[in-house]
Amino acid sequence: MQRICLNCGMSVSDTTSYCPKCDNALNLQHDGSTITVDITHNGERVREALQKMEMEIGLARKDVAKCMRLVVGSGLIREEVLLALRDLKFRGDIIDFESESFNAGAVMVRLK
């Protein structure tokens, strides 16, 4: 699969970390957009919601979005997601995260 370097426009493999033309770090490039993903409102259990979150974050990190808005609800799934996000931040898989101030059922995750 191919992706485009946002700095110079060169088409590169999605497994490439740095653009061979301009040496820009491809995993840090973003277009400022936010992806919204609901991981709780289709009857998911905690384990399923966490698996869905990790899969969606993995896919989004390869994309050009800067942030991901996770719709997590206000119950047990939300608490487990916050714990998992702390771990992902510690490992360096995400930059940061915070609960939305106006909506306790959503968490904004900064990917790049």
- Give the pLDDT band of residue 2 (cuts 50, 70, 90): confident
Q: Where do the H-state alpha helices sit in the chain?
A: 46-62, 76-91
Question: Tell me: the pLDDT tens digits for 38-52?
Answer: 999 889 999 999 999
Q: What is the pTM of this model?
A: 0.81
- pLDDT at position 17 is 86
Q: Compute the distance between CA of residue 51 and CA of residue 26 in angstroms, rounded to an integer.
A: 25
pLDDT averaged over every residue in the chain:
91
Buried/exposed 10-21: b ≥16 CB within 10 Å, e otherwise? bebeeeeeebee
